[in-house]
Chain A
């Protein structure tokens, strides 16, 4: 057969195959190629190319432009084109002037050929009346439109002499407030148009010019995107980006990207992205090239909070890293930390609400967005935070009611209300009991408290700055004041407590030390008040001086035990719990357990109330974690589940419920109760997905390894990929955790047969791991080497595989106490490779089989993943030795291994009996 004849045959079958749906091609080729394996593989390799974009699909000739300059001097309607001032995806932009009035300058947008001319002009005719009515000082007017002699559509627009809003902000080094004010003007203009049912569809900084003359922002191109149409089948547009033609991916809303109807909500979204950029000089997403990736990016990426983004190191360039917005300088605020504080809380919430993926959760209009920005500028609570989950429950205020109440009281006091003095006076005069006195004071401040601390952020993410400033200011004032010692002590006790709560342990320690001194002086060294300060100081000291923390707590317990007060149980419960915590930290588990149990017996008296239940759950969680560390898994599970249920039923904070669910899941996993563990991890993930990235990362990674162990490879891959992605966002490209996560993903991919990607990942991960450990014989290094060897083996690169295993074995040999499993694994793998290299070597084969049997024995627990892999190896080895029966046995064992754990639940089926967690909580 000549080459021509051969190709004719190939191309006929190929064309026939292409006309069939993908699912039927396989069977078609079976028939068409018969037993001609060469023909079949040639056609398959050609077909494979069909899955990729092909550069030939976009006619080259459409990409070669006519010279935009050649149109200069041309007349369009009453206007003469004078010079090119820009060009973009849709055509060239000219500065033009009226022929009869040279001073009247306009902008002419001349669309390129290949756009759907007739359709654009038809739309223009229907829309022009509406667009012509857009008369707003912040909107550049559409003056005219039409088509050139040779059929190119054009628009005439008001000329705005100005610069793009982001460049303007950068060049004038505007502060956050000024940027927000400019943004408000933009919102007003957008709202004006929205009321006339005109959607912009392409809001972005380059479409908003700030005039040189009076510094006002003007929106360009209102309604133009619609004229150009989202659905036009312009001949030059590759199918895949048809829908994405007339928006800019960075600013496009999810509904725009997927081609859903575009509404005013889409503009609100774009305004949100722009605000993000104006405030941070960063884009919220990494938008990769390629239309499918654009869609994925906009739909799947979680934008970083603006406040988080500004302090994150931003690597430039390679498309996988978050890009700085082009040529936009940071606001000239002293440093990123200060900017971060400004953005934290309200502005974060405003931006993220405007950018909410679901249009229904965004601001209902740009007016509402603007109103919230105004609220922020006026120092009022913003709506966005009211609506977020954590805002509503304001843990800080609710859980630490007394602390906050006193802090606010302090504030009130310091600025001169004198409330405390009056009550203190009455108290000292014996006119009020201590309890009445505290109640009275608390009641007075509740109203004020609610207003002031509405923005307090329970998850240490938001309003911290304000609380800190408030505290520092108060502490200074207190220092300069000359209050009665008992008041002074009480206030310091309060401030110190709040500082500790905020994680400022050093400040807290100083203040509480002073408070303790004063209280001993004012109320004696055996007063309940003194003891309470001891408890608090001990907590602040637990990291730096645990012995002293224990002394203080023990002393406090003595005092509480000796006194009969109304709050004796609360004080004692807390004290025993804390002491248990410190003992556990010392490694004295028996003492710790005794103390926890004692605390529980005290706390039992307060069960029934919400506070009591949650308090009980706290100690129960501690106990569960403690016994779990000792390997008493069943007990640990019992306690943690109990705590979990109590938190649940009494509507504890979602983050607390999630933490307990996470601890429970980890314990279940260690107890080989994988299925249940998955359910609790997933619950924890649901909560952390909204809140805490590092927690989420931990849970995701646990879930991934768990799914991997369970043999649910597809799910494991999804989770591993999320882990890697999240880590890429959080850490440097060269960080060790990222490398290890990548290698986890890679070893999974080897099992799934995606060898090429696995190899790439291993290569990247190896460089980092190697550089990190250098010659250190760390087991991690051996693990990566063994994994790489398995990959090489899978690819039949035996020599490379051997080299890698040998290197792994060397590292393990250099380690003082290498993990036995890894040692056996490396020996067995080496023998296996030798057996493959020299099929006649009976000893290698023998050693390999022995080794893998040992591994199966060592495995002990039914971890399906490893068991399956080992069974696969043994099957392979027995086949090499032609022992078909034995091989078949292992094949059957391999196929029948449980993909989920079969261990019976001795306890209640936890996750299914637990109520489905509700995201909303009492407000």
Chain B
């Protein structure tokens, strides 16, 4: 059993400190992969959809020995990490550009031209999510897990310990709230 798996077990068993160790361990790996992906300048290699968290997860965790509960927990905090990494990256990028010129991260999903859906100001989204958390902490967590980690409603429900229907309702209303916030902001 790898360290990560053990820490995950400890964490789900109620050992709060295990989470800190776990995060420290995973964070570095996530950061490396994310920055390598995002810094790629060559246009020949357009960014492709690959579940980054999945990648890390597969790398770090021996999947046969981790049960569903653990996996969900892992994703829960990986989502938070992912958000931090991606937003920090976007923020750094924003300021490093001359005069702080706003450059939206545009990620090509595929050769299909749906790029116009992909323009997103992550920093603005992060701010909006913080505002949402003020109003409703759980909703911001739902968005984080779904959007930043690509979790399914069932998985999010596992992490939060609520029903998938609740997750769906939280998600559907949160996405409308955020849309309004992003458009107004």
- By a CB distance below 8 angstroms, the chain A residues around B19 are none
Say yes or no for B175: interface residue by CB 8 A criterion.
yes
Known interface pairs A15-B172, A89-B111. Does A46 touch B177 (Cβ–Cβ under 8 Å)? yes
Q: Give residues of chain A (36-64) contacting chain B, Cβ–Cβ below 8 Å.
A: 45-47, 49-50, 52-64
Contact of B176 (CB < 8 Å), options: A46, A53, A60, A91: A46
Q: Give residues of chain B (13-52) contacting chain A, Cβ–Cβ below 8 Å.
A: 33-34, 36-38, 40, 44-52
Asked if B148 and A55 make an inter-chain contact with CB atoms under 8 angstroms apart, the answer reads no
Say yes or no for A447: interface residue by CB 8 A criterion.
no
The stretch that binds B, out of A243-251, A643-651, A864-872, is: A243-251
Asked if B150 and A46 make an inter-chain contact with CB atoms under 8 angstroms apart, the answer reads no
- By a CB distance below 8 angstroms, the chain B residues around A504 are none
- By a CB distance below 8 angstroms, the chain B residues around A289 are 113-116
Say yes or no for B135: interface residue by CB 8 A criterion.
yes
Asked if B48 and A112 make an inter-chain contact with CB atoms under 8 angstroms apart, the answer reads yes
Say yes or no for A910: interface residue by CB 8 A criterion.
no
Asked if A290 and B116 make an inter-chain contact with CB atoms under 8 angstroms apart, the answer reads yes
Asked if B177 and A235 make an inter-chain contact with CB atoms under 8 angstroms apart, the answer reads no
The stretch that binds A, out of B2-10, B53-61, B65-73, B93-101, is: B53-61
Asked if A291 and B148 make an inter-chain contact with CB atoms under 8 angstroms apart, the answer reads no
Say yes or no for B143: interface residue by CB 8 A criterion.
yes
Separation in Å of the A153 CB from the closest CB of chain B?
14
Report the separation of the CA atoms of residues A315 and B152 in the bound assembly, to the nearest whole angstrom. 44
Say yes or no for A3: interface residue by CB 8 A criterion.
yes
Separation in Å of the B119 CB from the closest CB of chain A?
7
Instruction: Count A-B contacts at CB 8 Å.
Output: 169
Contact of A58 (CB < 8 Å), options: B45, B46, B109, B178: B109
Separation in Å of the B168 CB from the closest CB of chain A?
8
Asked if B117 and A53 make an inter-chain contact with CB atoms under 8 angstroms apart, the answer reads yes
Say yes or no for A241: interface residue by CB 8 A criterion.
yes
- Closest A residue to B183 by beta carbon equals A49
Say yes or no for B136: interface residue by CB 8 A criterion.
yes
- By a CB distance below 8 angstroms, the chain A residues around B50 are 62, 64-66, 112-114
Say yes or no for B169: interface residue by CB 8 A criterion.
yes
Interface of B is mostly: helix
Contact of A49 (CB < 8 Å), options: B55, B86, B179: B179
- By a CB distance below 8 angstroms, the chain A residues around B177 are 7, 11, 46
Say yes or no for B149: interface residue by CB 8 A criterion.
yes
Separation in Å of the A727 CB from the closest CB of chain B?
26
- Closest A residue to B56 by beta carbon equals A66
Separation in Å of the A151 CB from the closest CB of chain B?
9
Q: Give residues of chain A (110-166) contacting chain B, Cβ–Cβ below 8 Å.
A: 112-114, 150
Residue interface bits B82-123, CB-to-A below 8 A is 1, else 0: 100010000000000000000000011111111111111010
Contact of B179 (CB < 8 Å), options: A56, A245, A287: A56
Question: Number of B residues contacting the other chain (C-beta, 8 Å)?
Answer: 58
Asked if A241 and B114 make an inter-chain contact with CB atoms under 8 angstroms apart, the answer reads yes
Residue interface bits B109-147, CB-to-A below 8 A is 1, else 0: 111111111111010010000000011100100010011
Say yes or no for A903: interface residue by CB 8 A criterion.
no
- Closest B residue to A244 by beta carbon equals B112
Say yes or no for A87: interface residue by CB 8 A criterion.
yes
Separation in Å of the B148 CB from the closest CB of chain A?
6
Report the separation of the CA atoms of residues A906 and B135 in the bound assembly, to the nearest whole angstrom. 72
- By a CB distance below 8 angstroms, the chain A residues around B163 are none
Known interface pairs A113-B54, A289-B114. Does A61 touch B136 (Cβ–Cβ under 8 Å)? no
- By a CB distance below 8 angstroms, the chain A residues around B134 are 3-4
Report the separation of the CA atoms of residues A53 and B118 in the bound assembly, to the nearest whole angstrom. 11
Report the separation of the CA atoms of residues A49 and B139 in the bound assembly, to the nearest whole angstrom. 18
Separation in Å of the B66 CB from the closest CB of chain A?
15
Residue interface bits A1-44, CB-to-B below 8 A is 1, else 0: 00110011011001100110000000000000000000000000
Separation in Å of the B165 CB from the closest CB of chain A?
10
- Closest A residue to B152 by beta carbon equals A235
- Closest A residue to B85 by beta carbon equals A64
Report the separation of the CA atoms of residues A66 and B36 in the bound assembly, to the nearest whole angstrom. 8
Query: Could you list 24 examples of A-B contacts with CB < 8 Å?
Result: A3-B134, A4-B135, A7-B177, A14-B172, A18-B169, A46-B176, A49-B180, A56-B179, A57-B175, A59-B147, A60-B122, A61-B82, A61-B149, A62-B51, A63-B107, A65-B45, A65-B49, A67-B33, A67-B37, A88-B110, A92-B48, A113-B50, A238-B117, A289-B116
